[in-house]
């Protein structure tokens, strides 16, 4: 129902993201999704890893500030309005989306949307009732 997202808080400087990817590379962890938000002084790198427990452990071992969060992964059609059905379900169910990011799978695999919602259990129920496919950690590629 939920997948694990790893958030790394970093200083906004040249090479900071590369340090994260190096830690993950050395731990043999593959990133499935990535989102980066920044301000003038710091940034938040949010990622979905194929091995979330190993990613979390490896990043913490390097003394990075890391948080693990449960998020929802949806599979939507890669067509105009494909994401709209999910948004309607959450809107009419009065569930607030805190943030979201998405990626399109290669070779017609559709789109995957990651959602962080204020009421995640309610969000999942509304999405399922609307026919939206919820993905597991293993289904994200």
Model pLDDT for residues 94-119, shown as the tens digit of each residue: 999 999 999 887 655 688 999 999 99
For the chain, give me the number of helices (H) and strands (E)? Answer: 4, 7
The enclosing H or E element of 8 equals: strand 3-11
**Which domains are seen in the chain, by residue range?**
3-69 (3.30.2130.10), 71-135 (3.30.70.260)
The answer to whether residue 138 scores a pLDDT higher than 90 is no
* pLDDT digits 0-9 by tens, 43-99: 999 999 999 999 999 999 999 999 999 999 999 988 899 899 999 999 999 999 999
Number of Cβ within 10 Å of residue 18's Cβ equals 10
Please tell me the predicted confidence (pLDDT) of residue 41: 85
| d(C-alpha 45, C-alpha 30), whole Å | 15
């Amino acid at each position: 129902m939920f997948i694990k997202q790893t958030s790394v808080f970093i200083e906004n400087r040249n090479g900071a993201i590369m340090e994260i990817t190096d830690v993950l590379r050395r731990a043999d962890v593959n990133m499935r999704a990535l989102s980066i938000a920044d301000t003038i002084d710091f940034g938040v790198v949010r990622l979905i890893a194929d091995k979330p427990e190993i990613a979390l452990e490896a990043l913490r071992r390097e003394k990075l500030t890391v948080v693990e969060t449960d998020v929802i992964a949806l599979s939507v059609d890669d067509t105009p309005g494909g994401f709209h059905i999910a948004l309607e379900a959450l809107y009419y169910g009065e569930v607030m989306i805190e943030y979201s990011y998405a990626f399109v799978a290669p070779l017609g695999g559709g789109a995957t949307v990651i959602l962080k919602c204020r009421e995640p259990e309610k969000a999942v129920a509304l999405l399922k009732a609307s026919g939206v496919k919820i993905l597991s950690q293993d289904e994200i590629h």
